[in-house]
Structure 1
């Protein structure tokens, strides 16, 4: 299983790094697009057919979902190769209404996406099968309904964990337990001291989560353009003795 970082900037896109979006490519079967922030669809076109991927959302803040209406245009109206059938779509309970309003023609309408996606809402800790991977959502601490996601490939047993956006919670440790790779947000840089509560993690907290979960590799994500990736990296390495890297657009990760 391979993961391509399409974008991993936090809160807003950066000049060389779109907001959150990750392409999961199992060894067999359809890909999975995990989050779809501004700028991600453009990067997706470099690596994969936008019509050939299931879509999953950790949560519905704009920096994680705002390219979805553009994906709908691609799938429906591409002049040579529109989507031939439906893919699966998973996300928080409000996904259908929230994203349907974004892609509707009128302010009070909700675009019915069922022509191109079959939507189901996450239920905490309930594993869903998407082609050749299982995905299990774990509830996180954030101002909106938010999940960390544990992705397990059937054939190889490889495990990828993704924090989404969250403050410190033991649920993330369980989500990442013994994972081959943890994509963990480190929005606050080195430390979360004095920062807004119930919002995000620091590099030190990401490192501690990786250590307590026993992951093999930690990749830091969701650092905003005004953030300090080097401070986040150094703090994570103080807590976690395994490999730690800062993500970038185009990064390829083997699980």
Structure 2
């Protein structure tokens, strides 16, 4: 597998990075995990967005899904698309309200919010069962966040990438990360007993998940713009003996 960091900033974009978004490729299959603010622009540097085979949205906070709007403009209004969007609808996997909430971006007026529809270009699917998209098998489990949120276990070619999405410490994250080749974990803030439960992970907490789950490598993402990456890295390396990196936008990682 090949992982490309489209954006890795937590809560909002930074000057040097869009918000959360990750391109994963295996064989001839390409999927995106989240599309936060600015990620569709970054995606176009690496791939024609029409070549995506699936989109997985961990939750519906803007820093993880707002560029779905940009992708929709491209798929609906491109004057010369390389393929017919209506005949190759993109599978979109997301929380139960994904279709209704994101379709409302395109309602022509308030009176038509309830009738907004994007099924001409998308095929909306749930997380009821593991998803098979080309070379990928993606298993989703609900995690502990401020809204309904899921983490993903992405398997292909005998390798496993796990992406936490946004979460506080919980059993589901460790279950997803069990024996993963790479754990791509949020580490939004530094460790402190004053942090609220069920919101985010610190660098130390992410490393503990990786250690307990037996993950082989830890990649840290979703650092908020005011969080010191050196401090996050220090916390993580104190807890986890394997390779640890704080990711940057534009990086490629082989899995």
Deviation at 1:205, TM superposition (A): 0.4
Over aligned residues, Cα RMSD in angstroms? Answer: 1.2
What is the correspondence of 1:1-255 to structure 2 with a 5 Å cutoff?
Answer: 1-29=1-29, 31-53=30-52, 54-81=54-81, 83-84=83-84, 85-107=88-110, 108-109=112-113, 110-123=115-128, 126-153=129-156, 156-189=157-190, 191-255=191-255
Gaps of 5+ in 1: none
Cα distance in 2 between the residues matched to 1:82 and 1:129: 24
Gaps of 5+ in 2: none
Superposition TM-score, scaled by structure 2 size: 0.95
Superposition TM-score, scaled by structure 1 size: 0.95
1:38-88 per-position Cα deviation (integer Å, ceiling 9, x unaligned): 100000000001111111100000100001111011011112226422121
CA contact (8 A) 1:23 1:34 kept: yes
Deviation at 1:13, TM superposition (A): 0.3
Aligned residues: 249
1:155-179 per-position Cα deviation (integer Å, ceiling 9, x unaligned): x211000000001001101101111
Deviation >6 Å, runs of 4+: none
1:137-156 per-position Cα deviation (integer Å, ceiling 9, x unaligned): 01100111100000001xx2
